[in-house]
Amino acid sequence: MLKVGLTGGIGAGKSEVSRLLAGYGAVVVDADRIAREVVEPGTPGLAAVVAAFGESVLTPEGTLDRPRLGSLVFSDEEKLRTLNAIVHPLVGARSAELERAAGADAIVVHDVPLLTENGLASLYDLVVVVDASSDTQLDRLTARRGMTEDEARSRMAAQATREQRLAIATLVIDNDGPLDALEPQVRKVWEELAARAAAEE
């Protein structure tokens, strides 16, 4: 099994790269999706979040009110640490479970937005970074995701710098250009991953 960490700054196009790799045959383990699953109604994760932050973080339907929780934790490092201490171990356990289920000869791509920030590079055989300039990121976040420029800049500032991400990269996918320039690069990276996986067998 080849374990690959995939990361990139917000608006860099990591989700598109992840989708393409899945199409080539990678088993994609999406940390963001798992982070949502582990706090769904009825889960121990949601019970722990409510125990830590109170009933006010629930919607009237009993699901997690993400914007409300976000406004509580992003302005308070202590609260963010508390939330991470609940969610990260659950995400790690579920990711490991999905990885084990993938099979010995799989290429498992862990799609982890905060891989750099959380110092996780050593967990993987190699790290693929989807790279884009801050101007490109800003443009995508305002044009495609409808963020204000201030919103986009503060989300970008909360993440690792481009230099920090590139410093841990084994392979880099340059996604500064149009979408049709991305696919050939991702295919090339997939061929490299397949070659490495074959060499390990």
Check if the beta carbon of residue 12 is closer than 8 Å to that of residue 155: no
Q: Compute the distance between CA of residue 196 and CA of residue 201 in angstroms, rounded to an integer.
A: 9
What pLDDT is attached to residue 144? 83
> Counting beta carbons within 10 angstroms of the beta carbon of residue 149, is it exposed (0 to 12), middle (13 to 18) or buried (19 or more)?
exposed
Angstrom CA distances, 20 to 14, 15, 24, 25, 185, stand at 10, 9, 7, 9, 10
Residue type, 185: Q
DSSP H helices, the chain, are 14-24, 31-37, 44-53, 66-73, 77-101, 134-143, 149-157, 162-167, 182-200
Q: Is 145 helix (H, G, I), strand (E, B) or coil?
A: coil
pLDDT tens track for 12-33 = 999 999 999 999 999 999 999 9
Report yes or no: 178 and 44 within 8 Å, Cβ to Cβ: no
Cα distance from N-terminal residue to C-terminal residue, the chain: 8
Per-residue confidence (pLDDT) for residue 71, from 0 to 100: 82
What pLDDT, in 10s, does the model give residues 164-176? 999 999 999 999 9
Domain count, the chain: 1
User: Where residue 68 sits, what CATH number does that domain have?
Assistant: 3.40.50.300
Q: pTM score > 0.85 for this model?
A: yes
Could you tell me the two tokens for 118?
A: 């959380």
- Phi then psi dihedrals of residue 149, to 5 deg: -60, -40
Rounded-to-integer distance, Cα 11 and Cα 93, Å:
27
Q: What is the pLDDT along the chain (201 residues), one digit of tens a residue?
A: 999 999 999 999 999 999 999 999 999 999 999 999 999 999 999 999 999 999 999 999 999 999 889 888 877 889 989 999 999 999 999 999 999 999 889 999 999 988 999 899 999 999 999 999 999 999 999 988 888 888 888 888 888 999 999 999 999 999 998 888 999 999 999 999 999 999 987
Give the strands of the sheet with 171-174, arranged side by side.
27-30, 107-111, 2-8, 126-131, 171-174
Residue with tokens 């320039």: 181
Range of the domain at 53: 2-200
